[in-house]
Amino acid sequence: MKKIDHIGIAVKDLQQSNELFSRLFNRPPFHQETLESQQLHVSFFQLEDTKIELLEPMSEKSTVHKFLATKGEGTHHVAFEVEDIYAEMERLKGEGFQPLTEKPYEGALGKLVCFFHPKTTNGVLVELCQKKK
């Protein structure tokens, strides 16, 4: 793993949260997009080498909707940048960590992503992400 890429924060209202975090960070989000496959609206704030990702569910089908219903707004996941997501997935599976999907898929900012179950990572939803080559 190279570094923390971003911290994901689940929010109920993206527009309201963008305004709040814009005041907190004294800058607007640098990117917003919709991830239809995950039923999410997201926005990103850049803080030096780290990003903050705000996640708003589009429907009850979104896993973030379920997260908000049980835990409320707050830290959803920590994402780590990796050089080779396939090799890192295999390494972590060999160490006993449980991936939530068998293969990486395209996530926000066009990166390849995969997540590991919080039951195997001390309660933290861990994301691996890799820039497409």
**Residues 28-41: tens digit of each pLDDT:** 999 999 999 999 99
Token code pair at residue 40: 């999410």
Q: Which domains does the chain have, with CATH numbers?
A: 3-130 (3.10.180.10)
Query: In this model, does residue 52 exceed pLDDT 80?
Result: yes
Distances (CA, A) of 63 to 30, 81, 93: 24, 22, 22
Q: What is the pLDDT of residue 132?
A: 84
The answer to whether 57 and 65 are in contact (CB under 8 A) is yes
Q: What is the pLDDT of residue 1?
A: 86
How much is the average pLDDT of 97-113? 96
Task: Tell me which residue has tokens 């195997």.
Answer: 120
Mean model confidence pLDDT for the chain:
96
- The alpha-helical segments, DSSP class H, found in the chain are 14-25, 63-71, 85-94
How much is the average pLDDT of 63-72? 96
